[in-house]
Structure 1
């Protein structure tokens, strides 16, 4: 029996799920929906712009879309433009691959002051997410504090600390590159509530901070234990031992660099200080506040669902039984388990959900549903402008053509520009003649 599947979200979890399904059932027809005009989700908008190797997984997904069984339906927000109930009428199964796109609140006074940003917004700004193109963060003071001790926090301080030359081969958006290059930063702070053994950054990302041209990491030796405490998961012990060694190496450094990166462990933020904007950060037990004109919180994300999509619980995930939300409805990735793990973490999990879905199909005697043909008619009737795979490839070509020397692309970062670039060449506005600029 031919089955039609809809996947909501074109990030790595959704596409790993599609890959796992098609490897076992190449006869399936799968449509991948995204509210953005571009695919790849976290890979495009979450992975740091100077980590191009991590983004290479998109080549695998490119081949997947080129196989004829997978369609991209961009610029359509399921739950808002397209109700989930309508989608379920046409597809035998729906997979929620929504990710986690809402910043967790700090829950302290002053976090609403201008100059305090969540990492989703800040990273989205420098990575060209159209929702955050006009964030225009305040980066005009010498001190910048980043709250969090995970890889996202490490990414942020690294991007802020690198010189323009060090970012040449990245796809850091030009609107962000100019602001960061002009920032008068002299002190970066990375702040964690717990100790160095509990920090969640990985060793490779931590070690990078010691190789930056203008940045000296500063760690107080008194903050570092000689070894790991008891009770550490053996699977994580090797990484944490390596982290402690790197931090001990940082503590031993005596070189001078124009930018100091201060690691503050066992530090609990109590209030963001300032009148009309951020001026500092008060930490529990510390007499003097940190002098910082920018505070960025990187303390995790939660899933946000609109319209008739299932709502996340108090833990920020969509309730599920090993990936099954309800008959015919499944969930993968961060929306299933919370924002943890790396991109490869999602591959094995997505396969387990795909296996469960196919097992459910084997027990299902209902006739297959109509799939995309009927839905395409409905989308046209609603006047929705779908950006398909060829439309995305036109966006991609425009970004590659606009790239600065050494950079792989210059991302189009506003909604209008993305939608315009997706149009076929015959519908593009004519270029102005000489004298009409």
Structure 2
């Protein structure tokens, strides 16, 4: 019997061990959110996929790690050039005189360049196209000197803008994205020979997102596959866009129209891409790919994942109210309440079949809202009175490029004038008697309990 009990005991113990092992294996697998990067197996140091409409992050791999960004830096140069044009500081037709520094760098055939004449004059537009299409480094320096007075001053503008845009852990040391040792000892004052521009894939994506949102016309230039620099001039140069995913080029991808490549020994092969199909645009960033070609093949993986697995979903249409938050009380207004509606469509890319996991809620805020959450009269139609915030109930949701939850402007759908003293007086009297009547009814009712 003792031996039998021992055998039975061992069998029970074995079963318990098997069950315990099964539980430890199965439960974590069920609880662990499925990582998109495990599905895509992106061959790069870092990568990210973003919905260009809402800034929603759809995939990321090591996206917060600061890494060298090489010539993707020129997107910030593009941003500042467009900003200077918009603000009237420069115009596209302004002439830029080439300095000794810009000239020497432009003559380096080991770098991407269009040769510039010392003291020669080129329009802002010509230099901008050379930088955006052909990643011309000398042209980029000439633009930086035009806007900042010196590359050092321009680099300060780059870092200031990065901070304003919230690009995270960023370090700009030059306008081009080259390693400083390639600047022939002329690198900006205060930087070392080993310095280079640093940013995360998340930061690069955010820069691209803001660039396209603020200056969508940049895509008109970035989408040009081939162009001749100074066509008809003394030294014309054929420029083939380094973005080989543009239509007609080696790795052409449907809808691709930007944005910027980059490569150095330390950065590896990098690419910020953007493509639009059927009204949906995505932004991708690949950093530290293994080869010139692989940055494009990995980008194609990201784009395919976006276009195949996500759909454009409008949670609240422009001019519509949010479910459960149709009106807000107006204090001292001719109308006692007013509808609050979406200023624009609340639209984002959501994985197919998962729209039910997303909810739009209202958050009232601003100078038109009092401490009790009421709207203060008078107020004009279209005045912002808060935000519509979009949240996902799923733990594995990756959030948005700017915040964990995206917000959209909430506005009033009509003007409400302030009520005159007579109306307010009658309302006060009515409220007094209404409260008095409620008290009497309540008191009488209490007698019969």
Q: TM-score range by the shorter chain?
A: under 0.3
TM score, norm. by length of structure 2: 0.22
TM score, norm. by length of structure 1: 0.22
Q: Which has the higher strand share?
A: 2
Q: Greater RCO between the two (CA within 8 Å, min separation 6)?
A: 1
